[in-house]
Amino acid sequence: MEYPLKKNQPVVVKEEKALTPFQVKLRLFLKNKLAVTGAVIVLLFILLAIFAPLIAPYGIREQDLTKRLLPPSGNNWFGTDDFGRDIFSRVIFGARISLWVGFFSVLGSVIVGSFLGILAGYYGRWVDTIISRIFDIMLAFPSILLAIAIVSILGPSLQNALIAIAVINIPNFGRLIRSKVLSVKQEEYITAAKAVGMKDSRILFVHILPNSLSPIIVQSTLAIGTAIIEAAALGFLGLGAEAPNPEWGKMLADSKQYLVQAPWTLIFPGLAIMLTVLGFNLMGDGFRDALDPKGKH
């Protein structure tokens, strides 16, 4: 039952608490169902990688030749490979390798690429010319061929594959941060910082870099998925992880001759790659929509 207001009774209006910029971006991200789905997929694989020893029913090197190439069953959910090893256990542990390569290769690309991009965009002139030409030369080569060349020089191994993937992605981050710096350095607060005699290093890393993080976050998320594919490609070619490490690309290479006889040996590592990359791509799209100041929300 509603009671009418008495005469001269003050009307109390509840003021909504203002949201912080972070809360606004988070709310926009959570409204994107595909982005949330991608985040759930990525979180699932991260948890599988962290708790792999507790989840995996068998050891990754545990062989039983009497059970080789068995189809999926209650004892072996994803079947067994040509050495009788449990594919489910190896796929779970493979998440550790793929995510490790993806995260740290992109981290290296971000650090080096952002540093070079900031220098090129802020100082311009000959510094910009030299760095930009280096980026152009690197981008002139197909990324996977450049990665193969680097691994061939350094020697086939998982660590060298990580280095190669980090190197081939440096120009992408460098050019991205350069373009952002070119616009940010024209802002009035940067001009004011220069006017009061602030050091270039402080201007670059305290004022310009934090205001250039949005595109880096989006590109980093998308680049992790790409790095996982590149690591799988190098592993498939025998230039990445070495046996018996359960790297997804290496698992595909070892099982390609059993495509007709035992297709599950390829299907499940391939699905793991597909789902992980899909998760990062959906997250990247969600971050782009949430962090884009010009987006229509």
What domains can be seen in the chain, in order of their start residue? 94-291 (1.10.3720.10)
Q: Where are the beta strands (DSSP E) in 57-154?
A: none
User: Residues 120-127: contacts with CB within 8 Å, 24+ apart?
Assistant: 120/174, 120/178, 120/181, 121/177, 121/178, 121/179, 121/180, 121/181, 121/182, 121/185, 122/181, 122/185, 122/200, 122/203, 122/204, 122/208
**In which residue are the tokens 């595109």 written?**
215
Report CA torsion sign: 27, 289, 297, 294.
Answer: positive
pLDDT at 7: 55
pLDDT of the residue at 157: 87
Which bin fits 113, alpha (ψ -120 to 50), beta or left (φ > 0)? alpha
pLDDT along the chain (297 residues), means of 10: 54 60 79 91 94 90 85 89 90 92 93 90 87 91 90 89 93 90 79 78 79 85 91 88 84 87 91 94 88 58
pLDDT at residue 134, rounded to an integer: 92
pLDDT value of residue 228: 92
pTM of the predicted model, to two decimals?
Answer: 0.84
> What's the angle, vertex CA 228, arms to CA 227 and CA 233, rounded to 5?
95
pLDDT of residue 133: 92
Query: Hey, CA dihedral for 30, 35, 36, 39, is it positive or negative?
Result: negative
Residue 72: both structure tokens together: 């999926």
Q: What is the pLDDT of residue 282?
A: 92
pLDDT given for residue 111 in this prediction: 92
Residue 48 neighbours by CB under 8 Å, 6+ apart? 55, 92, 95
Task: Give the per-residue pLDDT at 12.
Answer: 53
pLDDT at 89 (0 to 100)? 92
| H or E element, residue 243 | none
Decide: 228 and 102 in contact? Cβ < 8 Å. Answer: yes
H helix intervals, 32-86 = 33-50, 52-55
Contact at 8 Å (CB) between 88 and 56? yes
